[in-house]
Chains A and B, each alone.
Chain A
Amino acid sequence: ELKVEQNPLFLSMQEGKNYTIYCNYSTTSDRLYWYRQDPGKSLESLFVLLSNGAVKQEGRLMASLDTKARLSTLHITAAVHDLSATYFCAVEYGGATNKLIFGTGTLLAVQP
Chain B
Amino acid sequence: DTEVTQTPKHLVMGMTNKKSLKCEQHMGHRAMYWYKQKAKKPPELMFVYSYEKLSINESVPSRFSPECPNSSLLNLHLHALQPEDSALYLCASSQDIFSSGGGTEAFFGQGTRLTVV
Contact = CB atoms under 8 A, between A and B. Distances in A.
Tell me whether A and B are bound partners. yes
Interface of A: 31, 33, 35, 40-45, 48, 50, 88, 90, 92, 95-105, 107
Interface of B: 33, 40-45, 48, 50, 55-56, 90, 92, 97-99, 101-111, 113
Given A102-B42, A104-B42, A42 B111 contact: yes
Given A42-B111, A95-B99, A100 B42 contact: no
Contacts, number: 65
A99 B105 contact: no
8 contacts: A35-B108, A43-B92, A45-B105, A90-B106, A101-B45, A102-B42, A104-B42, A105-B42
B45 A99 contact: yes
B110 A98 contact: no
